[in-house]
Amino acid sequence: MIPKPDQVVSAASNVAHKMLYGGLADLRPMPRTLIDEGMLRELYHYRPSAKVKEQGDPVLLVTPLAAPALCFDLRRGCSLVEHFVGAGRPTYLVEYGQVSFKDRNLGMEHWIDEVVPAAILEASAHAGGRPVHVVGWSLGGIFTLLTAADRPDLPIASVTAVGSPFDVKLVPMVAPLRPLLNIAPGKGITRTYQALGGAPKPLVRWAFQLSSFQKLVTKPLAVASHLDDTDFLAQLEAVDRFMDNMIAYPGRTFGQLYHRFVKGNALVTGAIEFGDRTISVANIKAPVLVFAGSTDGIAPVAAVKAVVPLLKGAKEVRFEIVPGGHLGMLTGRSARNSTWAVMDEWISQWSSDAEGETLPAPAVRTRRTARKSPAAKKAAVEKVVPAAKKVATKKAATKKAAAKKAPATKSPAKQAAATKKAAPAKKAPTKKAAARKAPVRKAAPDKIGSNPSRRYGSGGSRALSR
């Protein structure tokens, strides 16, 4: 196709801008403050926006091993952190710093027992004791789910797992190799990562690139055909920076991932053993939201969806298929109107009220529950309020009669004061009862995650009862 004049001008402008200024992407990180740290644990609080007041339950973003925190703050305009901060949501992130040879003896238990629980507790305390919505991507989602299963006492409002595979045999990269891995003892690989102290950065980056080999090969053609698309070129720059900042795996953790996850497919049953204990995701009580990317090569839809029937104890389980690959589903250009919108709806549903008490699980979220019309809901509320007022009025009259029978030594002014003081105390249950009977507002049919006919909607969403 012959490019149009405006496309030629845009392409020339983009090339000149890249040559003169080094790039097109706005790679400024969102400002943040370190509030807690420990061994391979750095907890940050992102500074509130000057335009929006910070309020509501906090969100904690859990990064996976080997990936930098850039996954949540890729670039301006494609940053989940920027999205939450701009909405006034208290936003926290836990990352692990640089892994070195001295960390070679650390296993997955370190993150499940120490890092993630400490981050949840500190984020809750920093946010005034409110429950935390924990969002984990890839292996960070697995860490989050296992932590929630092992520590039901933690102040968790909800759990969101983004691209976290639980059935590794369904991963295209691993499936052809698993028969060979089961036959071979794997001593060579074991000795290698023990000698190196883990999986080094170049190996981690190579593995991530291999999962998107087709895109890597066709990248020059894609760049040439999108020279006039500033946003597309900026996204490529941001992804390249993300790839250049990969982090090494600690030795023992890499060994566990290789032997248990890749060879043994340990998570397919939803339970995994660490020492003398077994952690099962069936013990999770908090509501869980699971995302799968429609074109994810690292964690395909079927591999991610395998966790849904295992979450038997959760208040609610919701499964969503969204556009994008492993990173794109989280912070790609299409994530703005798909993944992030579903997260906003989910977090709002399971957030606390003004008094800090967690709202009860809304029955209307289950599709098998009968749906009431707006008129029926209004009638139900109007039926509750007069009845409560009638009870309060009757009790107030009883108090007034008792006051009349009191000894004559009390002055009329004191009796009036006592009656006035008692009456409001009986009206409080009326307001509380009305508030508890208020219907839960359902999402509009055109909202993402609520329209079953939409390709990436809640046609894949389901409660465990279905």
Q: Residue 203's CB: how many other CB atoms inside 10 A? A: 18
Average pLDDT over residues 224-243: 80
3-state DSSP helix/strand/coil percent for the chain, to nearest 5?
50, 15, 40
pLDDT value, residue 226: 61
pTM, 2 dp: 0.68
Token pair, residue 328, equals 């794109």
Q: What does the pLDDT look like over 40-77, one tens digit per residue? A: 899 999 999 988 999 999 999 999 988 889 999 999 99
253-292 pLDDT, tens digit per residue, is 777 887 788 778 889 999 999 888 999 999 999 999 999 9
Pairing of strands 132-137, 156-162: parallel
| C-beta of residue 250 within 8 angstroms of C-beta of residue 257 | no
Alpha carbons 232 and 111: distance in angstroms, whole number: 35
How many other C-beta atoms lie within 10 A of the C-beta of residue 419?
Answer: 15
User: Would you state the pLDDT for residue 91?
Assistant: 98
Contact 92, 58 (CB under 8 A): yes
pLDDT at 390 over 60: no
Mean pLDDT, the chain, rounded, equals: 74
